[in-house]
Structure 1
Amino acid sequence: MLLKIENLHVKYGNIEALHGINLDVNEGEIISILGANGAGKSTTLLTISGLLRPSEGSILFNGDALHKLKAHQIVAAGIAHIPEGRRVFSTLTVQENLRLGAFTSADQQQIQKNQEWIYELFPILEERRNQLAGTLSGGEQQMLAIGRGLMSSPKILLLDEPSLGLAPILVKTIFQTLKQINQAGVTLVLVEQNARMALKIAHRGYVLEVGNIVLQDTAQALLANQDVQNAYLGGA
């Protein structure tokens, strides 16, 4: 078991956003977390990455207590978070953004190797390596955000709404690349409104409703589940 979340409670002030969820991630999996807006999906990712603190419960990564570490220590341990909205550094170049993703590493050889791999995954980024990130299209910025996360050599990549605001053809490209990243040995935890696309590449999925996990199953079973179809897949 690579990542284990047990009885996780998270509060915003007096409001509890997660009500004791349990979630497991095995090495090499793609896990999809489904749910409506406000269900607690982003909160789950933010808590795994140390940007929010649980009020109760535990997060174990390779058996170690992740919830006791600071955010930068969690990155160094092997978890990278690609936030909703991309959040690239708009006044820095593509190359500079990527290099910032490797801030926890002193291994220049590995940094160079990661950068070459990212340019293989996203050739457009190499073409635009000296261009300011703020001048990139939305799709290119999403590629850069994913690339920046990969620069830290993560064991787990957390992705929050990677298809948000992208044209359908770009969405397809991003998801194909996510499969490649997973096949290269990176475990993915994916929060995505495009439930159909997310489940098509996932191994397993969890459904969150108002801070509770109400369903978990293989991705194939969730795609075939009538309730999931009606709620998240447009009834088809």
Structure 2
Amino acid sequence: MLELEDIKVSYGHIEAIKGVSLTVEEGEVVTILGANGAGKTTLMRTISGLLKPTAGALRYDGKDITQTRADSIVELGIAQSPEGRRVFGTLTVEENLMLGAYTRPKAEALETRKQVYELFPRLLERRQQLSGTLSGGEQQMLAIGRALMAKPRLLLLDEPSLGLAPIVFKNIFKALEDIRQTGVTILVVEQNARQALKLADRGYVLEVGKIVHSDTAKALMASSEVQEAYLGKG
């Protein structure tokens, strides 16, 4: 479904992504692991069209989208829930969700909103509440729900559990498993490497803008090098 071929991305004279190649097959959950500053968010923003690579190619369903605009990428079926949630705090939960469906007919958007409320019942309870007054966990649910409103075939998730309490963290990952069961393909960047690998089929390890490991999630979980660097004890 998604193919990155030797992608390079720079901020001025600083090369943040140094020739990354990876693939995501339809129906998979793929995770990207790496320390802070490894380039994970830069890579996600490049896939969603917010940044343009200086070299290499991105293909989606075999079509070159390297220079495609971000709004057109959403229309193709790729939507992102960004790091830090980025909800519109002065708008209600419902208004935030409907903004996520700006590319879709209203009748379809209303049906998808119903599905989002079923996935995240707390959002239904808070639907008329200003998003800036929500808890961190509720804002994360809203950010994921807003991305789902675009009805993506490929969902990009950037640090979905960042800063969340353990019980909320578990609820978010349960929701991601439910999303997976609907057939949505997921590419996820996640600080909790152990949880990400439990959810994923495959994973890539990014270090200083380069892929240094790639394997099945099970093999990465068993790797002594990955354990020492990212999994810790337990």
TM-score (norm 1): 0.98
2:193 aligned partner: 195
1:173 aligned partner: 171
5 Å-filtered alignment, 1:25-44, equals 25-44=24-43
C-alpha distance in 2 between matches for 1:95 and 1:64: 34
| Counterpart code for 2:112 | N
Identity %: 60
Contact 1:226 1:235 in 2 (8 A): no
- 1:162 equivalenced with 2:168 (yes/no): no
Contact 1:10 1:17 in 2 (8 A): yes
C-alpha distance in 2 between matches for 1:125 and 1:191: 24
Superposition deviation, residue 110 in structure 1: 1.4
- 1:90 equivalenced with 2:89 (yes/no): yes
RMSD of equivalent CA atoms: 0.7
C-alpha distance in 2 between matches for 1:73 and 1:83: 17
Superposition deviation, residue 108 in structure 1: 2.1
1:56 aligned partner: 55
2:17 aligned partner: 18
5 Å-filtered alignment, 1:214-229, equals 214-229=212-227
Q: Secondary structure, in 3 states, of the residue corresponding to 2:225?
A: helix
Structure 1 spans left out of the alignment, 5+ residues: none
5 Å-filtered alignment, 1:59-78, equals 59-78=58-77
Shift >3 Å, 4+ stretches: none
| Counterpart code for 2:34 | G
After superposing the two structures, state which structure 1 stretch, 203-212 or 108-117, moved more. Answer: 108-117
Aligned residues: 234
- 1:45 equivalenced with 2:44 (yes/no): yes
C-alpha distance in 2 between matches for 1:85 and 1:52: 18
Contact 1:29 1:202 in 2 (8 A): yes
Contact 1:32 1:205 in 2 (8 A): yes
C-alpha deviations, 1:23-63, integer Å up to 9, x for none?
Answer: 00000110000001111111110000011110000000001
C-alpha distance in 2 between matches for 1:235 and 1:44: 28
C-alpha distance in 1 between matches for 2:217 and 2:107: 37
Structure 2 spans left out of the alignment, 5+ residues: none
C-alpha deviations, 1:67-108, integer Å up to 9, x for none?
Answer: 121010011111111111000000000000000000111x22
- 1:136 equivalenced with 2:134 (yes/no): yes
Q: Secondary structure, in 3 states, of the residue corresponding to 2:53?
A: coil
Q: Secondary structure, in 3 states, of the residue corresponding to 2:66?
A: helix
| Counterpart code for 2:139 | Q
C-alpha distance in 2 between matches for 1:132 and 1:211: 38
